[in-house]
Structure 1
Amino acid sequence: MIWKSLMGILCMGGLSATNAAILMINDASQLYDVRIEIGCVQQECSGEAEITLSQKGRPQVFQKFSTTQLSFYLPKHDQSDVDHLLKYDNQSGVIFGDFNFDGNEDIAIQDGNYGAYGGVTYDIYVMNRKRQKFIYSAELSRLTQESLGMFRLDPDTKRIITLNKSGCCNHTRSEYEVVPQKGLLLSREYSEVLMLSGEEVEIIDRKLVNGHWQEQIWHYPIKQYHEIEKQ
């Protein structure tokens, strides 16, 4: 599993009205226990929040974070697992994962809905082994601001994948490589565009090969394209 959503949640304090609830999350991370202080009304928690990490088995605070806009719903029943393949309308408040493929667990903390089409945006913090703390990554955070919610990870190709769209009929998937000491490199863009006629779909696949962009374009009748998607 590349990352896990909020789960194993223990709430202290009544939630029938707005309360400063304390949420303890013990199995969202392999290395850390998470404490969240946030206001909740029944099953909905939102607004300013403080997130505190402690290393498993140690009572001391490892690092604290704050956000002006965290928002999520508490599970109505005990959940042993939560869908971690994020959808546009199903994004967690706190996410752990190795976002830069360096072998260290990183953390993403929701900071509002400022992405494309009101998508969820995140502050991304990556682990700095020398400093032994999480450091804010403007580059990774910006990806969530410019696309539809939290990015996805492909552990096989070690690429970060973002989804975006323009209107109803132009959908784009972008892939980024993490270049050590340099940052993110856009290495592929795959677009599906419904033509103005409404009868044809244009597929554009752009790949960066040896520093040069190579582009392939296909056109499919809309009925044939739907059949291809089903395969």
Structure 2
Amino acid sequence: MRCYVALMLLLASLTARAQQEYLIDDFSSQYVARIHVDNDTSGVGWIAVYDQTKQPLIKLESTELYVEPDYQRPGAAVARIPYAEQHWLISNDFNFDGRPDLAIQDGHNSCRGNVSFQVYLATPTGFAHNEAFTDLAQSYCGMFEVDAERKRISVQQAGSWGGEETQFSVRNNELFVVSRYREDQSQDPFVTYSREEWNGQRLVSTEWQELYPSGEEEICSFRLAENGKRVVLFARDSTTLYYALLRKDESVEFSYPALQAAEALPFTLHNAKAGLSLRFQNGSARYEIRETAGGALSVTARIGVKTLQLTGAVAGRKGSLRPLLRQPLDNLTVQP
């Protein structure tokens, strides 16, 4: 019996020592917060915010309250945690009304297991939970960013396809989208960008595509002397030849073949004494890139009855058509 009682007392003592409480009292002159964790490894505990009368205004339970070892202070009944060194509670003016609001971490529920928060907006008598702001701190990647100067709230989203940033304005504690920027990398090496901007009446959308081939993929590139556009030939995955025409701002004006095309006519490389000639056809339009024996490059495009002949500039030129003679590609035929 004595052994049993001693064992129970020992277990109770260990449990009491495992429980920890931490005080945060430097984030506000009006409020303090306490963090309670049941033990160092379970993550079970709660965060509470108290007013000057020590009445709890908010108490949020969590199963993911993990305290860094540096915060452990043996022998202290309540360890103090500097506000600037912790991430369980964030105090800032989220709705731009001049009063600091609170975001309290409730776990890791946002994208890719990032931290998530419950958001409480300040009122004349305390705090009120806000669903719209909480959704921003749950449905995106971590806590939203606050731009006090521009009075904007921004959130980030990420995935295997790329990323997205959305900015909101705040009116009467309601959130309104003012811009959205998206980057889609799912068709590498082509990256598609889209932007939505509020013009005072509606969101106006623009979309463009840019090309980022690796150094190993790029075979030849040169600018056209007549209009400053750039021609790029590259081999995607070292198996498929692509042609791209880029505008002066480097956005893609035209590319061949389309990445999602089920079938496309192959390229044909003609090797003659006068030089090399790479040809392909897209619908009724026919294209030819020529490289003379002396290395001069040019492009000819025949679209219906119209023919365009454009000269390749020497400045900024990279590579040559000649590697195509010895590089086996699925959609390239070499002819004498």
The interval holding the TM-score normalised by the smaller chain is 0.7 to 0.9
Q: What corresponds to 2:38 in structure 1?
A: 39
Q: CA deviation at 1:17?
A: 9.0
Distance 2:118 2:112 in 1: 18
Is the 8 Å Cα contact of residues 125 and 134 (structure 1) preserved in structure 2? yes
Q: What corresponds to 2:104 in structure 1?
A: 109
Distance 2:34 2:81 in 1: 18
- Tell me which structure has the larger Cα radius of gyration: 2
When residues 26 and 207 of structure 1 are mapped into structure 2, their CA distance, relative to the original with a 3 A threshold, is same
Q: CA deviation at 1:39?
A: 2.4
Distance 1:128 1:29 in 2: 15
Structure 1 residue 211 corresponds to structure 2 residue 201: yes
When residues 165 and 126 of structure 1 are mapped into structure 2, their CA distance, relative to the original with a 3 A threshold, is same
Structure 1 residue 194 corresponds to structure 2 residue 185: yes
When residues 223 and 32 of structure 1 are mapped into structure 2, their CA distance, relative to the original with a 3 A threshold, is farther
Distance 2:14 2:68 in 1: 10
When residues 172 and 39 of structure 1 are mapped into structure 2, their CA distance, relative to the original with a 3 A threshold, is same
Moved more, 60-69 or 19-28: 60-69
Which of 47, 52, 70 matches 1:76?
70
Distance 2:25 2:170 in 1: 29
Distance 1:106 1:75 in 2: 28
Q: What corresponds to 2:123 in structure 1?
A: 128
When residues 174 and 15 of structure 1 are mapped into structure 2, their CA distance, relative to the original with a 3 A threshold, is farther
Structure 1 residue 146 corresponds to structure 2 residue 139: yes
Residue identity over aligned pairs, in percent, reads 22
Distance 1:15 1:100 in 2: 45
Moved more, 139-148 or 17-26: 17-26
Q: CA deviation at 1:64?
A: 3.4
Structure 1 residue 176 corresponds to structure 2 residue 171: no
Q: CA deviation at 1:134?
A: 0.5
When the two structures are superposed, what TM-score results if normalisation uses the length of structure 2?
0.51
Q: CA deviation at 1:135?
A: 0.5
Gaps of 5+ in 2: 1-12, 72-79, 215-249, 251-336
Gaps of 5+ in 1: 1-13, 84-90
**What letter matches 1:155 in structure 2?**
A
SS in 2 for 1:46: coil
Is the 8 Å Cα contact of residues 35 and 45 (structure 2) preserved in structure 1? no
SS in 2 for 1:76: helix
SS in 2 for 1:117: helix
Q: CA deviation at 1:195?
A: 4.3
Cα RMSD of the aligned pairs, angstroms, is 3.1
Is the 8 Å Cα contact of residues 23 and 81 (structure 2) preserved in structure 1? no
Distance 2:153 2:83 in 1: 23
Q: CA deviation at 1:30?
A: 5.1
Distance 1:34 1:79 in 2: 10
The answer to which structure, 1 or 2, has the higher relative contact order (CA under 8 A, 6+ apart) is 1
Distance 2:49 2:157 in 1: 32
SS in 2 for 1:71: coil
Paired residue total: 195
Is the 8 Å Cα contact of residues 156 and 163 (structure 2) preserved in structure 1? yes
SS in 1 for 2:153: strand
Distance 1:45 1:15 in 2: 15
Q: CA deviation at 1:82?
A: 4.4
Q: CA deviation at 1:18?
A: 6.8
When residues 81 and 34 of structure 1 are mapped into structure 2, their CA distance, relative to the original with a 3 A threshold, is closer
Is the 8 Å Cα contact of residues 72 and 92 (structure 1) preserved in structure 2? no
For each residue in 1:91-120, what CA deviation from the matched residue of structure 2 results, as whole angstroms up to 9, or x when unmatched?
Answer: 821111111111111111111222222222
Q: CA deviation at 1:155?
A: 1.0
